[in-house]
Amino acid sequence: MLLHLVLFVALFILTDHLIKKIRNLPPSPFPTLPIIGHLYLFKKPLHRSLSKISSKYGPILLLKFGSRNVLLVTSPSAAEECFTKNDIVFANRPHLLAGKHLGYNYTSLSWAPYGDHWRNLRKISSLEILSNNRLQTLSFVRMDEIRSVVRRLNQHDHQNQTVEMQSVFFELTLNVMMRMIAGKRYYGENVAEIDQEAKIFQEIVIETLRLGGASNIGDFLPLLRWVGFGGLEKRLMILQQKRERFMQNLVEEYRGRMEISDKQSENYVDGSGNKKNLIQVMLSLQKSEPEYYTDESIRSLMLVLLIAGTDTSTGTMEWAMSLLLNNPDILKKAQVEIDNQIGSDHLIDEIDLAKLPYLRCIINETLRLYPAGPLLVPHESSEDCKIGGYHIPSGTMLLVNAWAIQNDPKNWEEPRKFKPERFEGFEGTRDGFKLVPFGSGRRSCPGESLAMRMVGLALGSLIQCFEWERVGEEIEDMTEGSGLTLSKAQPLQAKYRPRPTMIKLLSQI
């Protein structure tokens, strides 16, 4: 029996190897095992494990994640070929568990297949939610929440105080996103500890981010998903029901009190003269085209905006502050730029960000070293195509290892060194496909502009108002977490005190 098994495995490996050569498929690590494929090679964090495999076997690889063909790309030229020449071919998403239970059965903006439905969702998000005009209309929300954070930090004794920054950034970002979505805030000032709605929301968000960032072996070994291995799908289904009830209650709340004219709808203003949030805008559109703007589409856009906006901004701000604490000379240089360009008579506004190119360099360098999604959201080929001269079959899942591209010495000098100066003169550009933290092509992240505004405003304000330093003499621990999103394994603790030149302004906020 054992001999038969050994012969079967050997024959499978040999046949698989010959087929790849005959079909001109990309190279693969040897061997490809039956059933599990190359899953035996992977360790956490996955982006680093895949980077090591690519370093050994090449920048274009065909892997087997259990039953799935996976094209792994780790070079700028191959990424460019995927997202330009073959952009439409790779405009679909694979069917993964997250897409079913977080993507409304593959119908949300993030997970819908390429076609009319997805194009309509993208149009809604680009024009009605994330356009520059819309973001500018709601800039007061971001300023309000930044001021709230600054006030809370300044309430303590003016001696060196210690603060856990991950929570600060997490709550800041969630308040901004929920005010944009539903006109509500659930953390910080004026939010009572006994507020039941806030408590439910906090529980839903934490669980959604935790389960949404979990890897699921059942996506690649269907039998394990069928038997409920790990219980992830059951937990996602329970969470989905709880989240749906909460979000639908918000939709119904605004439906019940909306009395908006067509003219007011165009100006994003409600009957009380307040700027309208996402739910109000979508309900206004629902009146004219109910078949497009269903309640489910409203809830799905709410969730996409909430998850994408929170994960990207929170992680980037925490990594940036950690890097600055480990490099106080760079922190000082950023403060000098702010002092020279903005001064101490007002808090940084979004309009001021254009005057702070070095701050933009710091953000770009942080995104290079620690992209929020080290592996870009997976794509799937809708037909056969060629990448790097290799044949790529239809139905192949595409993984672009952004972390590997952005930390490759072939693309960047001293890639693991924090050097914002490398972006001087190129603050608003992406340098081809060597820097792809938000993806590229049709399925790139539509919230890039919002994230850059949010991160720039928050970092700039904290650098402007306070002196920052590490809690101890030791360098801040930069160990990465093991999830699919790139977070710090240990939350950042920092010491701070008001800058003498800012004390007067801080007392007036």
Token couple for 467: 């002196």
Distance CA(440)–CA(436), nearest Å, equals 7
Phi, psi of 397 (to 5 degrees): -80, 130
Averaged pLDDT for residues 287-300: 92
What does DSSP say about strands 397-400 and 379-380: parallel, antiparallel, or unpaired? antiparallel
Domain boundaries, the chain: 2-508
pLDDT band at 5 (very low <50, low <70, confident <90, very high): very low
For residue 263, pLDDT over 60 is answered with: no
Distance CA(328)–CA(314), nearest Å, equals 21
pLDDT of 432 reads 80
Helix (H, G, I), strand (E, B) or coil at 177: helix
For residue 260, pLDDT over 70 is answered with: no
pLDDT band at 4 (very low <50, low <70, confident <90, very high): very low
The model's pLDDT over 170-201, given as tens digits with 9 standing for 90+, comes to 999 999 999 999 999 999 887 876 578 988 99
pLDDT band at 311 (very low <50, low <70, confident <90, very high): confident
Distance CA(322)–CA(492), nearest Å, equals 7
Distance CA(387)–CA(25), nearest Å, equals 10
Averaged pLDDT for residues 230-252: 94
Q: What pTM, to 2 d.p., does this model score?
A: 0.93
Q: Are the CB atoms for 353 and 359 separated by under 8 Å?
A: yes
Q: b/e for 374-394, b at 16 or more Cβ within 10 A?
A: bbbbbbbbbeebebbebebee
Token couple for 450: 């919002």
pLDDT of 428 reads 58
Amino acid at residue number 329:
D
Closest CA to 129 of 248, 350, 348, 306: 306
Mean pLDDT of the chain: 90
pLDDT of 194 reads 59
Q: Which of 22-36, 130-144, 315-329: highest mean pLDDT?
A: 315-329
pLDDT of 93 reads 98
Token couple for 135: 């973001």
Could you give the percent of the chain with pLDDT greater than 90? 75
Q: Are the CB atoms for 492 and 478 separated by under 8 Å?
A: no
Binding site, annotated residues? 445
Phi/psi-derived region of residue 415, left when phi > 0, alpha when psi is between -120 and 50, beta in every other case: alpha
Helix (H, G, I), strand (E, B) or coil at 47: helix
Distance CA(111)–CA(377), nearest Å, equals 10
Q: Facing residues of 470 across strands?
A: 494
pLDDT of 195 reads 79
Binding site, annotated residues for heme? 445
Q: Which CATH architecture has domain 2-508?
A: Orthogonal Bundle (1.10)
